[in-house]
Amino acid sequence: MRWKLKSSAYKRVPSRDAAMDLDVETPAKMADGGAPSWRMSLPHVCVATLTSFLFGYHSGVVNEPLESISTDLGFAGNTLAEGLVVSICLGGAFVGCLFSGSIADGIGRRRAFQLSALPMIIGAAVSALTNSLEGMLLGRFLVGTGMGLGPPVASLYITEVSPPSVRGTYGSFVQIATCLGIVVSLLIGTPVKDIDRWWRVCFWVAAVPATLQALGMEFCAESPQWLYKCGRTTEAEIQFEKLLGPLHVKSAMAELSRSERGDDGENVKYSELFYGRNFNVVFIGTTLFALQQLSGINSVFYFSSTVFRSVGVPPNLANICMGIANLSGSIVAMLLMDKLGRKVLLSGSFLGMAFAMGLQAVGANRHHLGSASVYLSVGGMLLFVLTFSLGAGPVPGLLLPEIFPNKIRAKAMALCMSVHWFVVLAASGATWSTSSVHNVFLSLCGSSNICAAPYFISEFEATTTYMISI
């Protein structure tokens, strides 16, 4: 069934009731007989993904320069201080993520992006200019708050401004941008051992994309869903026209009105996420993000250098191999997301990671195989990163905003990603110890991939159907 327009000419109608003029009983093609062009929304999505690029960049920016930083700032050999410099971003990200939902609902998606860029700019400048460990920790913590605030808003924004036909593809841009950020940070850090105080340049570089995002968001569209939720219907129509074109505004507004039918328009409190009809979908969402991290991705990244070094591969080449595997999987996920669907990629990803962990376990415990055991370990790590980036990496951040009702979407995403950061902190603390912990961690994560993931995916599918029906 096609949308039934009451007139062939497009007229902007400023009331919510007028958006109900269309027949919205079943989803259908847009008014002109086809889907909206992806070209109009692409620039807005690209600006939004700069926050994911920054997330990847700051995650890897201290890897290569850490030794130079510790020498110049006077804490060389202090493993606790070095660990804090690397991980204090995670604590800042947890704090920033806790407030991301309230900020995105309170001031809108565009202003939330600009607010998240501010501590990244200031934190990068503080880190580049500091002459003490305390200054470096302060700068990294500020950067972390921006890292925690930005990604949940990016997931919300991309879902809300993308045409349905390319929403999965655009959602995959988040993972690709993160991979590119990590790769660029490694490349920028390469001269650090040859050029004195080059590590300061590495931090100054991080301020450039943050500034570009803060400025670029001035020219980007605001989320029509957020405007509609605030009662600013006419402005929502204007933004839809900017994102989809004038021919698709009335049908988009009708679909938005249908999806929001029964919503009283008031902001939800965090306490409301823990009971009633919201609890099931939030519980499944937080569990998916927990499984994403408990899958073992942190353990693989933390111990990859040790495994590669044991086979004689230089650390720089090892980082490049891991980066290529991560980026390749993300590109494949982008191409398949809207064709195979979220559930297929997520299920295949968890099963693939479980198989890759099996290869690593065999390689680590079958020394009588000689060089074959090392190749099994290395191959297992690369396969793990590849399969992670195919589904477990990009899908949760894309899937959850799609099924959360508009009323709870921002705060529910903030809660789910806060659990994500909490698990990252716990996992990083666990994997800082010994290789024996690594083996135990891999076993537990492999079991969760095989047993828990299919259960929660099935539960998630049922919950999704329920939430959409209401």
Would residue 396 count as lying in a domain? yes
Would residue 29 count as lying in a domain? no
Q: Buried (b) or exposed (e) across 46-68, using 16+ Cβ within 10 A?
A: ebbbbbbbbbbbbbbbbbbbbeb
* Rounded Cα–Cα distance for residues 405 and 412 (Å): 9
User: 276 and 213 in one domain?
Assistant: no
Would residue 19 count as lying in a domain? no
User: 439 and 293 in one domain?
Assistant: yes
Predicted confidence (pLDDT) per residue in 107-125, tens digit: 999 999 999 999 999 999 9
**pLDDT given at position 340:** 84
* Rounded Cα–Cα distance for residues 76 and 67 (Å): 7
Would residue 233 count as lying in a domain? no
pLDDT band at 211 (very low <50, low <70, confident <90, very high): very high
The answer for residues whose C-beta is within 8 angstroms of residue 253's C-beta and 6 or more apart is 13, 19, 228, 233, 236, 237, 240
pLDDT band at 64 (very low <50, low <70, confident <90, very high): confident
* Rounded Cα–Cα distance for residues 415 and 420 (Å): 9
- Take residue 450 and report the two structure tokens written for it: 């095989």
pLDDT band at 365 (very low <50, low <70, confident <90, very high): low
**pLDDT given at position 203:** 95
Cβ atoms of 423 and 290 within 8 Å: the answer is yes
Average pLDDT over residues 21-41: 56
* Rounded Cα–Cα distance for residues 296 and 160 (Å): 31
One-character DSSP codes across 399-447: HHHHHS-TTTHHHHHHHHHHHHHHHHHHHHHHHTS-HHHHHHHHHHHHH
Q: How many CB atoms lie within 10 A of CB 455?
A: 10
* Rounded Cα–Cα distance for residues 242 and 238 (Å): 6
- Considering 220, 254, 285, which residue would you say is the last residue of a domain? 220
- Roughly how many angstroms between the first and final C-alpha of the chain, as a whole number? 22
Predicted confidence (pLDDT) per residue in 232-288, tens digit: 999 999 999 999 988 888 888 888 887 766 555 556 677 777 777 778 888 888 888
Percentage of the chain surpassing pLDDT 90?
25
Numbers of helices and strands, H then E, in the chain: 20, 0
User: 86 and 212 in one domain?
Assistant: yes
How many domains does one find in the chain? 2
* Rounded Cα–Cα distance for residues 109 and 118 (Å): 15
Q: How many CB atoms lie within 10 A of CB 100?
A: 27
User: 191 and 120 in one domain?
Assistant: yes
User: 319 and 205 in one domain?
Assistant: no
Q: Which of 112-126, 194-208, 392-406, 420-434 has the lowest mean pLDDT?
A: 420-434
User: 210 and 277 in one domain?
Assistant: no
CATH number, residue 389: 1.20.1250.20
**pLDDT given at position 24:** 35
Highest-pLDDT range among 99-113, 318-332, 397-411 = 99-113
Provide the sign of the torsion angle of the four alpha carbons 320, 322, 323, 328, taken in this order. positive
Would residue 71 count as lying in a domain? yes
Higher pLDDT: 203 or 461? It is: 203
Q: Is the per-residue pLDDT at 301 higher than 80?
A: no
User: 281 and 200 in one domain?
Assistant: no
* Rounded Cα–Cα distance for residues 462 and 458 (Å): 6
Residue found under tokens 């026209």: 241
- Take residue 221 and report the two structure tokens written for it: 């569209």
Predicted confidence (pLDDT) per residue in 132-190, tens digit: 999 999 999 999 999 999 988 998 899 899 998 888 888 888 889 988 998 898 889 88
Would residue 173 count as lying in a domain? yes
Cβ atoms of 325 and 386 within 8 Å: the answer is yes
Would residue 132 count as lying in a domain? yes
What domain range includes position 129? 37-220
Sequence letter at residue 22 = L
- Considering 220, 240, 258, which residue would you say is the last residue of a domain? 220
Between the alpha carbon of residue 281 and those of residues 19, 27, 100, 408, 410, the distances in Å are: 28, 23, 19, 11, 14
Cβ atoms of 249 and 10 within 8 Å: the answer is yes
- Considering 191, 220, 249, which residue would you say is the last residue of a domain? 220
Higher pLDDT: 224 or 307? It is: 224
